[in-house]
Amino acid sequence: MPGLKPVDLIRAVYPGTLLAVGGFTRQSGQEAIASGRADAIVFGRPFIANPDLVERFARNAHLNLPDSANFYGGDERGYTDYPTLH
């Protein structure tokens, strides 16, 4: 089915609670929940770069970009050194 995302294909055959992940923004996540395509959205990389992600979403604030070059690097770079909102 061209144009369908994995969450749409899964929802078509699975009526249970569906957590969706991968490439969602604040807006597209809200739309997926509102339309019934998903019951909740999981944010991985955005949470790494934004430990205050919930507050940023609430304020519709700018998000830090994840520094994937430092993932699994062994120190705080790319994990705990992102700026938070003030």
Where in the chain are the domains? 6-70
Whether residue 51 has pLDDT greater than 80: yes
Specify the pLDDT at position 24.
Answer: 93
**pLDDT digit string, tens, across residues 6-16:** 888 888 899 99
pLDDT band at 69 (very low <50, low <70, confident <90, very high): confident
pTM, two decimals, is: 0.77
Q: Residue 68: which of 43, 83, 84, 46 has the closest Cα? A: 46
- Phi, psi (rounded to 5 degrees) for 4: -85, 140
pLDDT band at 1 (very low <50, low <70, confident <90, very high): low
